[in-house]
Structure 1
């Protein structure tokens, strides 16, 4: 995405004595929301994304579901019991909450704000309901929906994960179709047929969005034919 900060120069004096200054591109971080059906590979892609560009950080979400093998508290999720989750929800700790597959999920306000204030792009791995709620709070957020290569590939991934029984797998496949129906509500769609390739496609989206004129293009201000401050 180029270096953080302003891209542009101080300007040069032209033959008629005026100062010509190049417009500036000021990179302003924004939330990056990634959603998709269970088993699409969102967590793996997000980890790869963060390893490619250190200016992207994950805004870790909280959940009441039990940790899966190799998941770490505070890194993959903030694991809370039902009572603690509801208490934090009551105190206004979360930007949004949703009940998904029988468990609560929530996005802590401080995790997103801390990243943005530090000049980082906050990456959120949330469900569709949560993603649309984030967009209401942060209108400049970019919403990316992740699809599997096929339903067969999705089923295979769920089975290989080994964390759900047959009944749960069938339920998640049915719910996946409902979640995919919300893809048109998102700004972009990517297919996760390869983790690294998918991460690079998302990074390309972020780079393009960062360069949008409406986000950070600052035109020179002229007073009497001269650039202000010249």
Structure 2
């Protein structure tokens, strides 16, 4: 395993599904020049998703091969779908940049926290259930899909107590600015975030 340096920073954005954690994470990542680690999954690609940008979409057999070769530092099976973070990706990006970010649910965030300790900072992005329902309806999600997404809402919200930072996402641009300001303190680069 890569030997972590004191200055290495792994930022994990977590929170309820539909609260905007990916939107905020990518805005902050771009502002602060952080490299995103893309997870692997066996689920089918959704129409708006891009392979290698949202996930690495791979077959079940490819996932099993990688798992058998101990390539994943973390794997989860959610509703019969495999998800994994490749250890080599984390190591390479840390060596290149010193700071990286991931977008994970609370289970994945906890697993990585147990591995990386104080080098890993969890940021919970959250909002209320009604806002999540409204956003997902606007995106065309069926009611049963929205209901399934919200099943994990109580656990995801409870997990924010374990996170180093927590932000209510009401206006994404304001939330991203606040998160960027907070994370900048970990980077010691004296940059001023410029999110419009």
Residue in structure 1 matched with residue 194 of structure 2 by the alignment: none
Asked if structure 2 preserves the Cα contact closer than 8 Å seen for 1:57 and 1:120, the reply is no
Q: Which has the larger radius of gyration?
A: 1
Asked if structure 2 preserves the Cα contact closer than 8 Å seen for 1:27 and 1:210, the reply is no
Q: Give the Cα–Cα distance (whole angstroms) in 2 for the partners of residues 178 and 27 of structure 1.
A: 31
Could you say which structure has the higher helix fraction?
2
Structure 1 gaps, min length 5: 1-25, 212-230
Query: Once superposed, which parts of structure 1, at least 4 consecutive aligned residues long, lie more than 6 Å away?
Result: none
What's the TM-score, normalizing by structure 1? 0.73
Larger displacement relative to structure 2 (138-147 or 165-174): 165-174
Residue in structure 1 matched with residue 185 of structure 2 by the alignment: 208
Q: CA deviation at 1:119?
A: 2.7
Residue in structure 2 matched with residue 227 of structure 1 by the alignment: none
Residues 1:186 and 2:163 are matched in the alignment: yes
Post-superposition Cα deviations, 1:76-121, rounded to whole Å, max 9, x if no partner, equal 1101122221221221111101123542211111221111101341
What's the TM-score, normalizing by structure 2? 0.85
> Equivalences for 1:1-230 in 2 at 5 Å?
28-54=7-33, 56-139=34-117, 140-148=119-127, 150-162=128-140, 164-211=141-188
Asked if structure 1 preserves the Cα contact closer than 8 Å seen for 2:38 and 2:102, the reply is yes
Residue in structure 2 matched with residue 21 of structure 1 by the alignment: none
Structure 2 gaps, min length 5: 189-196
Q: Give the Cα–Cα distance (whole angstroms) in 2 for the partners of residues 99 and 160 of structure 1.
A: 28
Relative to structure 1, is the Cα distance of residues 160 and 101 closer, same or farther in structure 2, using a 3 angstrom cutoff? Answer: farther
